[in-house]
Amino acid sequence: MPASRKRSQSYDQLAILRVDESLGEAEVVNTRRFRTTTWCFTWLMTSLLLVMPQTVMGDPMLRKLECVTIQAAVMESGASFGITTETLRAALLAGIKAKLPRLKVDPSCSNRIYFKVFMQNIAAGNFDGFAGHVAFDVRRKATFTDTSEPIDARAFDLESYIHGTRDKAKTSVLDQLNSHLAQFAADYAAANP
């Protein structure tokens, strides 16, 4: 048998002599089985950690948010896309009622949800489209701890860039509004179980 073969066999069959002095016995422990068992245990624990549900911690800025007023703004560059502040306000109101039934919409509330849209026409050759920016913020009154002065604080915000053909402009904006509302609703629910 070649020497390299003998070395690999002896390496794979490493054994430890364990002596139990109290009984006066000795036993051979196979380290290969020990290494395999350790590896399997490590793999199992890692797998369990990866598939365990994560604890959802609610954003403290969204706790006890009971009412909001809604505001929307649209700024367009070039020909209009047919998106109005009334359309956005109606979509915001419908989305809040559907996704956040516990959150009251009250025009006198100091907490505000802003939805802002900026759209720009893009025309190049045969392409007639748009590019834009969509922002969703929730603002609350807070107190600045150093001076005890009231401030307007951002409690939640999401922003997106959108683009496409002109015929998809309004749909893209409303889809982003729905997506941002869904994320806000999830965060709000985690903060207010």
Give long-range contacts, CB 8 A cutoff, 24+ apart: 179-182: 180/115, 180/134, 180/136, 181/92, 181/95, 181/96, 181/99, 181/100, 181/136, 182/99
End of a domain among 51, 68, 87?
Answer: 51
Is the same domain home to 84 and 9? Answer: no
- Measured CA to CA, the distance from residue 136 to residue 121 in angstroms comes to 22
Is the same domain home to 74 and 11? Answer: no
Residue-level pLDDT, tens digit, the chain, 193 residues:
555 444 444 444 444 545 555 555 555 555 555 566 666 566 666 655 555 444 445 677 788 888 999 999 999 988 888 899 999 999 999 999 999 999 999 999 999 999 999 999 988 888 889 999 999 999 998 887 888 888 888 889 999 999 999 999 999 999 999 999 999 999 999 988 8
Is the same domain home to 8 and 77? Answer: no
- Measured CA to CA, the distance from residue 184 to residue 62 in angstroms comes to 9
Is the same domain home to 153 and 92? Answer: yes
Is the same domain home to 47 and 67? Answer: no
End of a domain among 51, 68, 84?
Answer: 51
End of a domain among 32, 51, 70?
Answer: 51
> DSSP state, 60?
G
Provide the whole-model pTM.
0.65
Is the same domain home to 78 and 159? Answer: yes
Tell me how many domains the chain contains. 2
Helices (H) and strands (E) in the chain — how many of each? 4, 7
Is the same domain home to 75 and 103? Answer: yes
- pLDDT at residue 69, rounded to an integer: 94
- Measured CA to CA, the distance from residue 174 to residue 180 in angstroms comes to 10
Is 81 within 8 Å of 117 (Cβ atoms)? no
Is the same domain home to 78 and 36? Answer: no
Is the same domain home to 92 and 171? Answer: yes
Is the same domain home to 30 and 115? Answer: no
Residues near 54 by beta carbon (within 8 Å), at least 6 away in sequence: none
- Domain limits for position 170: 60-191
Is the same domain home to 71 and 151? Answer: yes
Is the same domain home to 94 and 181? Answer: yes
Instruction: List the CATH number of the domain containing 145.
Output: 3.30.160
